[in-house]
Structure 1
Amino acid sequence: MARLSLKAVEERVAPLAARESYDREFIFDLLIAFGKPQGNVTRLRNGSLNVAVDTTTEVAQKNVVYFKETANDPLEVIEELKTTPAVVRFSTRFVIVTDYVDLIAHDTKTNETIGFPIQEIDQHFTFFLPWAGMEKAQYVAESHADVKAAERMGKLFDELLHANPGIFEDERGRHSLNIFFTRLLFCFFAEDTGIFGDNQFTNAIGSQTQPDGSDLAEFLTDLFKALDTEYPADKPKHLAEFPYVNGRLFTVTDEQTVPRFTKQAREELISSGKLIWRDINPDIFGSMFQAIVTPGKRSDLGQHYTSVPNILKTIEPLFLDDLKEEINESQDSERRMVRLLDRIAAIKVFDPACGSGNFLVIAYKELRKLEHAILERLAELSPSHQMLWADSRINIENFYGIEIDDFAVEVAILSLWIAKHQMNREFREKFRVEIPLIPLKETGQIKAGNATRVDWNTVCPNDNHAEIYLIGNPPYKGANDQTDDMKRDFPFVFENQGFPKSLDYIALWFKKGADYIRDSSAKLAFVSTNSITQGQQVELLSPYILNEPLEIGYAYTSFKWQNNAKHNAGVTVVVVSLRNRSADPKYLFTGGLRLNADNINGYLADGSVNYVSARRSALAIGLAPMAKGSQPTDGGNLVLDSAARAELLATDPRATPLIKEFLGADEFIDGKERYCLWIADEQLELANSIPQVRSRLAQTAIMRRASKKEATRKFAETPHRFTEIRYKPTNSIIVPSHSSSRRSHIPIGYLGPDAVISNAAFAVYDADPWLFALISSRSHTIWAAAVGGQIKTDYRYSNTIVYNNFPVPLLSDAVKEKLTVAALRVLDVREYHCEQTLAELYDPDKMPQDLRDAHAEIDALVDSIYSKKPYETDEQRLSDLFAMYERMTAEEAAKAPAKKTRRTAK
């Protein structure tokens, strides 16, 4: 026989409560209502199943019930019966005593006793649910909910998708399932924090639903409706003790479907409920659970939230530090403290890419902590301020957000509610005042939408006088990684005007943020990948965000974005804060230090120049020209690996003078052997007399003739030549076009006259060793990192951006001589370790000490060119470099008109 659902039992018990009088038949009808077989109950009634008792006043069945009617006090009688031999020997589950006015029942397994008027049996039927196979659950929280909670909920999510094929595949269905999980999260938190009774939600599921999960959807549907019902009398009797929540969280709509459950899904739900949720960080779990329900993100579980210390990097210098300082300065003034409380209550915090709300949650909690500190001090100053303790003045309605994912919107609102309840508990501990969370009154200001297309003033109006802080971690995508939808967002932000096509996606938030705060008291601080402050991105974005009257108020230079997640993100990021121009101090935070700055430019350096542009020649006088290496455009026919070279020379040794070493970034750094056919015009007859060489030249011609580019097709007539020739038979400096940013110095080489540098590197021919030392320095490396930028985790070098703009004053012969000696020392040390590749030698974890010392000597010499004092940080180096760059470009600009005048005079 199929087990009855909770609702079915409730319906079958209801008629028992409507009777006008009761007799012995009550117990038999009650057993039938709970699904006991009719034949079984008939035999019990006839006495054939009864254990040895007085059948006129008692009914007893092994493992089921011991029922006794009495004219005495039922409570006294049941106390006697609990230990009688019949009850103990036959493991009777329920002992029931009644005088048919009141009923007392005892559960021998859980040791619970309940009493009520017999006519209210319908209100207390859940006590006897074990008869229907729904065992009472008394779960105890076992461990703290953290990333494991998300993983467990992920299993539940997968099981529900499996159990509900097709229902949640479309957008409406996924939204419904997402809302369902939001409700579960609230219930788990509520039963651990006093919003519900202890473990009330999980125990109800365990006690009032079938083990196979068949009736759990029906139960949860009724429960959610009860949580949205204000008066207990209007709720099902078995759910009447659940409180009224409101706040739109449990609002019943036709679109919200509770999924069907399996046995496994029910077990996963109960297991999740047994975790300790009271101390869950709402700033963390929102992002974790968003990963659960987002296709393709499960492997990133816990990765894409920002840790609390990193969030504080945005909000502490932005406004918290100022508030804390004001609190300290106002300690002895009631008037100032009350005024500060008014200020804090009016602050608005806005995250236009809020995700699951972690930035808003931390900002809310930090402001609540400041409020508590002010109230504690006011209590010390004067008891008359106790009237301020009735409630918190930090209102969730002052926290605004925009988020494109609808589930994240719901989780963000839920996160703020949870944060509020946690801070309310702290408020109660400090001031002995209870601030109830429910019924929920504040619904928050989190709006669903595409932040690039939404007018931010419609979400959080900026009236130029409000104290508004924009914070967050907007999405990042490089120009080549953006989806078509992302690319279509750009015209909305730039209002269909022209815009740089290579901008990173996050640039849209900086552009809209700059427009939003311009000419107002609002400020912003965004976390971004550090690429936005490097290379081309600075030149592209700075004109839009660092024009009048805006400036960078503070910034954190590159640091690892790390968190407590299972899979630590480890992305390199910066924090950039924009404000309207102010006399307030500007700060650069780097390496644990806070440095004062006169002006913070787009590279996050102390300098007036916001960005540098490509130059065709070197800014510094006396620097030899640098060019890209020679490019073969040959389809691989003019390039040889070591095996092909050996085979060619073994076949015809006459090819020896036609072959040169061929080095790009990979060959130079990783020690790979590669060669090329370098054939001068006067060697062409020799080349054609060697069959293998002649064949390679023929294949090169075929490849070039097939090109879509006219310029390449022209070179088919001279297949023995590279299409771009910059090689010179002199000593040369090779600079890799890319190099790992883990290295403290870019590995730069000094080559002999027989090495051809490829187009995968840059070359300086006729190079002196002192120049090798100059551009091997730490100063040059950090200049390259700033203005050249990075490709993924590699420095991206450029002759026109990095080298040609590198500011170097005129150097004396004495300085050049010292640099030459230091350069030769580095080359000697490398030669000593010749069995190792440069990749191995410049690995920061394995770099030999003598090589470190040799580079330290170069660094000290080059640093002395720019500063009389040793540098403590790279930011100080960069600041001086930009200062010199500014002076040199200003001098260059001053000379330009004079040159023009002389030409005109001619």
Structure 2
Amino acid sequence: MARLNLKAVEERVTPLGARDSYDREFLFELLLAYGKPKGNVTRLRNGSLNVAAEPEREVAQKNVVYFREATGDPLAEVEELRKAAHVVRFNPRFVIVTDYVELVAVDMKTGENLAIPIHNIDKHFTFFLPWAGMEKALYVAEAHADVKAAERMGKLFDELLATNPDLLKLPHGRHALNVFFTRLLFCFFAEDTGIFGESQFTNAVGSHTQLDGSDVDGFLNDLFVALDTKEPSAKPTYLADFPYVNGRLFAAKDTQVVPSFTRQARQLLIDLGTLIWQEINPDIFGSMFQAIVTPGTRSDLGQHYTSVPNILKTIEPLFLDELKEELDSWFNSVKKLEALLDRISEIRIFDPACGSGNFLIIAYKELRRLEHAILERLAELDPKYVVLYAESRISIENFFGIEIDDFAVEVAILSLWIAKHQMNAEYKDKFGVAIPLIPLREAGQIQAGNAITTKWSEVCPGDKTSELYVIGNPPYLGSRNQSAEQKRELSTLTPKYKSLDYVSAWLIKGGEYIRETNAQAAFVTTNSVTQGEQVGILWPQVLGEDLELGYAYTSFKWSNHAKNAAGVTCVVVSLRGRSSATKYIFTDEIRVVAERINPYLADAPDIWIGRRSAPLANLPRLGFGSMPNDGGNLILTDAEKDELLAVAPQMTPYVRGFSGSEEFIKGKTRWCLVIPDDALKSSIQIPEVRRRIEGVRAHRQKSTEKSTKEKAATPNRFYFWAHREADSVIVPATSSERREYIPIGYLDRTTVISNSANVAYGVAPWVFALLTSKTHMVWVKAVGGKMKTDYRYSGTIIYNNFPVPPLSEEMEESLTVAALRVLDVREYHCERTLAQLYDPDLMPDELRAAHGEVDRIVDSIYSKRAYETDEARLSDLFAMYEAMIAEEQSTIKERVAK
């Protein structure tokens, strides 16, 4: 079934908002509107697919929806269902409750809520788009107080730093300030969540300190000592009501770090206490808070934290989905559920680039929620279980991390405490049993250090029997953006480090760690490590003969709830030992089973595409255009050309069009001087020509390259001359990633193509059709890599390795007709540049249709069936590439044998 687009979904949902009345049929029509199969909806309607606990008023389909007709308050009922074990068991994407007047829904993946009059469903149709395979760009429903709190913390940080300029000069001054701010954050959270009395900390500061702030440091110092003191009688009377916290947070050795306050700083501190901290999300706030106190990152507040949906892309397929499936399978077995509880209590989670801990926090929360669901079901089967388990068995001591930033380590530990308290509150809501957070006993296993130079098994030990999962979002840093020290670190892991992104270190070390411990890993990383030359350099070492990709998310745009989300394209890759377990490729939230996932993230064998000197297929040679290396002296603008020919019309035969990637795509015109040797003597009689020729000579003579200096003897010639007197196909070396097709085209025999583009001469139109097809674009994206975010076209990697089988004359003719149609449509719109014609928002319908016909014909070369996904195209391309390489090697062996 074809997937629906946004407009189609809107059109199908709109009639549901125009009803006079609603009944149970509403749900089934809603599901059909988002493209759910009619057969499944029919079975849901007649009850054969309905797995709801109360089918007389509920409808449930695993992984899709849990729907209830409300008998009371819909808001209360949706909250009850969201946490219920039988709902967690079926892992529905949406929980919906309605009394057919009001509709309340929750997105179980993102936490986003919807509460609307049911007749306004058409105005909120985007909420349920994941049913149609379209994930929302901003998933996270965190309160904006997270950002506001971080920004206000920043103001207090700046004020204290200005007041205490010598603090950072102390040997451990920055660490001291970092610890101080983590203590403040704990106190704010504690007084809003029942750990302290309500507003106890803020009221104490306001009641027991002077307005000018002069004694705030002394008061806070005494308070921190009190929070690390067990006996109330040992505390000052005015602090005796504060509880004993313990833990490393208020250890006495760090109490000397309180900075001096001003009137402004005191007021900022009190203002921070007026925010609602109980709803703070430690997974986002930690990253924002880190940016506040880390030099040079304030402007990037929150932009690099990983949103909950992106974290779930690592932990769900890695282990959480399997655990939920076991809950489902063993729902009626006390013994099996006890075994599942034992299992999850032993799981270790390790993030070797943990930052402020957001991956660990979400993994902890998800395991706690699963534990709650198991206990709830056990209590239904045998009521003794609520009494038996008055403490969570999911210990934060099983959560490990390495982080190079000192402050982030402190925030990660604090955030785990906050997450634990929040989950304890959920436990109390569900079972009526309070699990106190303090005194703090667990601190997690977060260590400060460099993950590249640290032995991971010493931080998170394990053996072949341990259930251990490595997750995270390591730092990316392309090969050109690394410091000398980072290059040196990479060099300790691989001799081929120079062309690798920094994140490669985590993939290499992840592979080594898996071999030691039998762990499994999943990392969010830029898609650059699954494209271009890096694939062949990196992945043979990572995978070796014993590891595989267990699942992968193909390229997706980075998104989170921050003001300025980082503009990168990411993938998720999981590593594990080779096994017969099912492998999955996720694209746009659609999951496809794969036989083998190669490092290009295609369902195909492991293949390493390297540089190749000649085309694998029967295609004309493609190479760089001509390079002037002339200091600009042989190149002319329109005005310069007109001015020269006005005074020297005899130079007309020696002035040629000159085009590179930018000129061709953006419709710019430039010219070049192509003066043959036998015309040089007469040409330099013209002063302007003589000036330019001498300019070339001088430019080349200044070079430190021997070959360039030698070319100074022939300043009328290009440094490298590739031009042929024949029509040429120009393939731009770079092109915007927004375009569905790289604008490839023909130029006449007089135009010289520059070295900023690729060129092939005497090319038949059917070759043009191949190169401008969607199939070729899929190949470009997979093996070509990027220049920043632009496509980067390499003749030796992309073109020469592109697999094309022998074509019949009939197929060449069909491709020729389709190619000429594309060129005709372009010519019809000649007033527009190719940049405009290939802008996806501006592309004319007839040009899109012409390309569609090219795509249909080219696809038929590779498959008898129409492709539904680009991943299917890529899988067939790799299969053909592998077959052609095998045939080529066989032919070579036969020739050698002869």
Q: Same fold (TM over 0.5)?
A: yes
Q: Which residue of 1 aligns with 2:39?
A: none
Residue 456 of structure 1: CA displacement?
0.4
Is the 1:787–1:801 contact (alpha carbons within 8 Å) kept by the matching residues of 2?
yes
State the alpha-carbon separation in 2 of the partners of residues 810 and 493 from structure 1.
43
1:639 paired to 2:623:
no
Q: Which residue of 2 aligns with 1:430?
A: 430
Q: Which residue of 2 aligns with 1:838?
A: 834
State the alpha-carbon separation in 2 of the partners of residues 185 and 636 from structure 1.
60
State the alpha-carbon separation in 2 of the partners of residues 306 and 771 from structure 1.
43
State the alpha-carbon separation in 2 of the partners of residues 256 and 284 from structure 1.
29
Q: Which residue of 1 aligns with 2:528?
A: 531
- The aligned runs of 1:442-521 (5 Å cut-off) are 442-494=442-494, 498-518=495-515, 520-521=517-518
Letter in 1 for 2:830: C
Counterpart of 2:709 (choices 703, 709, 713) is 713
State the alpha-carbon separation in 1 of the partners of residues 680 and 503 from structure 2.
54
Q: Deviations over 1:649-683 (max 9, x none)?
A: 11211111111111111111111211111123343
TM-score by length of 2: 0.83
State the alpha-carbon separation in 2 of the partners of residues 413 and 241 from structure 1.
25
- The aligned runs of 1:255-334 (5 Å cut-off) are 256-334=256-334
Q: Deviations over 1:803-826 (max 9, x none)?
A: 000000011111111111111111
SS of 2:172 mapped into structure 1: helix
Q: Deviations over 1:581-632 (max 9, x none)?
A: 01011111002211111111111111113320110000012x0000111111
Is the 1:179–1:256 contact (alpha carbons within 8 Å) kept by the matching residues of 2?
no
Q: Which residue of 2 aligns with 1:160?
A: 160
Unmatched 5+ stretches in structure 2: 1-142
1:212 paired to 2:212:
yes
State the alpha-carbon separation in 2 of the partners of residues 571 and 232 from structure 1.
53
Q: Deviations over 1:538-590 (max 9, x none)?
A: 11101111211001010001101100112222321100100000101111100
Aligned identity (percent) is: 62
SS of 2:321 mapped into structure 1: helix
1:607 paired to 2:595:
no
Residue 256 of structure 1: CA displacement?
4.2
- The aligned runs of 1:862-873 (5 Å cut-off) are 862-873=858-869
Q: Which residue of 2 aligns with 1:239?
A: 239
State the alpha-carbon separation in 2 of the partners of residues 491 and 687 from structure 1.
54
State the alpha-carbon separation in 2 of the partners of residues 300 and 369 from structure 1.
32
SS of 1:178 mapped into structure 2: helix
Q: Which residue of 2 aligns with 1:695?
A: 691
Q: Which residue of 1 aligns with 2:184?
A: 184
Is the 1:519–1:549 contact (alpha carbons within 8 Å) kept by the matching residues of 2?
no
Counterpart of 1:881 (choices 874, 877, 883) is 877
Q: Which residue of 2 aligns with 1:174?
A: 174
SS of 2:371 mapped into structure 1: helix
Counterpart of 1:787 (choices 776, 783, 787) is 783
State the alpha-carbon separation in 1 of the partners of residues 569 and 489 from structure 2.
25
1:412 paired to 2:408:
no
Query: Radius of gyration: which is bigger?
Result: 1
SS of 1:365 mapped into structure 2: helix
1:563 paired to 2:543:
no
Residue 218 of structure 1: CA displacement?
0.7
Q: Which residue of 2 aligns with 1:582?
A: 579
Letter in 2 for 1:859: D
Q: Which residue of 2 aligns with 1:199?
A: 199
Counterpart of 2:650 (choices 650, 654, 663) is 654
Residue 695 of structure 1: CA displacement?
2.1
Letter in 2 for 1:595: V
Letter in 2 for 1:879: S
Count of aligned residue pairs for this structure pair:
756
Is the 1:601–1:611 contact (alpha carbons within 8 Å) kept by the matching residues of 2?
no
SS of 1:361 mapped into structure 2: helix
Letter in 2 for 1:742: R
Residue 493 of structure 1: CA displacement?
3.0
Letter in 2 for 1:221: N
- The aligned runs of 1:583-598 (5 Å cut-off) are 583-598=580-595
State the alpha-carbon separation in 1 of the partners of residues 756 and 255 from structure 2.
58
Letter in 2 for 1:232: P
Unmatched 5+ stretches in structure 1: 1-142
State the alpha-carbon separation in 1 of the partners of residues 341 and 654 from structure 2.
82
Is the 1:769–1:824 contact (alpha carbons within 8 Å) kept by the matching residues of 2?
yes
Q: Deviations over 1:385-444 (max 9, x none)?
A: 334321100000000000001110000000100000000000111111110000000011
Q: Deviations over 1:3-42 (max 9, x none)?
A: xxxxxxxxxxxxxxxxxxxxxxxxxxxxxxxxxxxxxxxx
Residue 171 of structure 1: CA displacement?
5.6
Q: Which residue of 2 aligns with 1:540?
A: 537
State the alpha-carbon separation in 2 of the partners of residues 256 and 786 from structure 1.
56
Q: Which residue of 1 aligns with 2:728?
A: 732
State the alpha-carbon separation in 2 of the partners of residues 499 and 601 from structure 1.
20
Counterpart of 2:798 (choices 781, 797, 802) is 802
State the alpha-carbon separation in 2 of the partners of residues 624 and 826 from structure 1.
21
Q: Which residue of 1 aligns with 2:615?
A: 618
Counterpart of 2:825 (choices 806, 822, 829) is 829
Q: Deviations over 1:132-186 (max 9, x none)?
A: xxxxxxxxxxx96310110111111111111112212456111111111100110
SS of 1:518 mapped into structure 2: helix
State the alpha-carbon separation in 1 of the partners of residues 631 and 270 from structure 2.
64
Letter in 2 for 1:501: K
Cα separation, partners in 2 of 1:851 and 1:169, compared to 1, 3 Å:
farther
Residue 730 of structure 1: CA displacement?
0.8
Q: Deviations over 1:336-360 (max 9, x none)?
A: 1000000000000000000000000
Is the 2:180–2:258 contact (alpha carbons within 8 Å) kept by the matching residues of 1?
yes
1:891 paired to 2:887:
yes
Cα separation, partners in 2 of 1:534 and 1:659, compared to 1, 3 Å:
same
Residue 255 of structure 1: CA displacement?
7.4
SS of 2:250 mapped into structure 1: coil
RMSD: 1.3
Residue 462 of structure 1: CA displacement?
2.2
Is the 2:477–2:503 contact (alpha carbons within 8 Å) kept by the matching residues of 1?
yes
Q: Deviations over 1:108-137 (max 9, x none)?
A: xxxxxxxxxxxxxxxxxxxxxxxxxxxxxx
1:850 paired to 2:846:
yes
TM-score by length of 1: 0.82
State the alpha-carbon separation in 1 of the partners of residues 682 and 871 from structure 2.
56
Is the 2:403–2:447 contact (alpha carbons within 8 Å) kept by the matching residues of 1?
yes
Residue 687 of structure 1: CA displacement?
2.5
Is the 2:469–2:520 contact (alpha carbons within 8 Å) kept by the matching residues of 1?
yes
Is the 2:548–2:575 contact (alpha carbons within 8 Å) kept by the matching residues of 1?
yes
Is the 1:542–1:610 contact (alpha carbons within 8 Å) kept by the matching residues of 2?
no
Q: Deviations over 1:23-63 (max 9, x none)?
A: xxxxxxxxxxxxxxxxxxxxxxxxxxxxxxxxxxxxxxxxx
Is the 2:491–2:497 contact (alpha carbons within 8 Å) kept by the matching residues of 1?
no
State the alpha-carbon separation in 2 of the partners of residues 703 and 567 from structure 1.
44
Is the 1:453–1:493 contact (alpha carbons within 8 Å) kept by the matching residues of 2?
no
Letter in 2 for 1:551: E
Letter in 2 for 1:817: E
SS of 2:852 mapped into structure 1: helix
Q: Which residue of 2 aligns with 1:128?
A: none
State the alpha-carbon separation in 1 of the partners of residues 681 and 761 from structure 2.
28
Q: Deviations over 1:230-252 (max 9, x none)?
A: 11001111000000101110112
Is the 2:424–2:435 contact (alpha carbons within 8 Å) kept by the matching residues of 1?
yes
Cα separation, partners in 2 of 1:153 and 1:566, compared to 1, 3 Å:
same
State the alpha-carbon separation in 1 of the partners of residues 449 and 421 from structure 2.
27
State the alpha-carbon separation in 1 of the partners of residues 842 and 169 from structure 2.
52
State the alpha-carbon separation in 2 of the partners of residues 713 and 246 from structure 1.
73
